[in-house]
Amino acid sequence: MAKTWANAPSPCIDVCKFKDGGRCIGCAMTKPEKKRFKHLDGKSDKRAFLVLLVGRLEGIGRLGYWERMYRRKCDRKDAVCPLDKLEKPDVAA
């Protein structure tokens, strides 16, 4: 699992239009956040970043589109998608 996070591609999905209060309309990151992700070392840092970003995207109603595009990016890079490793809420049977 450590390699999944260590090799996690950037959450940027190559839209890069900063219209929403300085946030990209594709990934909801700011320019400084995009730069910061490149320099994150530990798996816990990348995991925490993605958890925060997923929450933000969900809050603004863009999670579905971003998730589809990010999964495609992971496939293109032949990387395990770290979204599969995020904790999912327990569902009572």
**What is the tens place of the pLDDT at every residue in 9-66?**
999 999 999 987 899 999 999 999 999 999 998 788 999 999 999 999 999 999 999 9
Q: How many CA atoms lie within 13 A of 32 on its CB side?
A: 1
pLDDT at 89 > cutoff 80:
no
What does the pLDDT read at residue 92? 46
What does the pLDDT read at residue 88? 53
Residue in this structure with the two tokens 């925060």, named with its chain if needed: 52
3-state per-residue secondary structure call for the chain: CHHHHHCCCCCCCCCCCEEECCEECCCCCCHHHHHHHHCCCCHHHHHHHHHHHHHHHHHCCCHHHHHHHHHHHHHHCCCCCHHHHCCCCCCCC
pTM (2 d.p.): 0.86
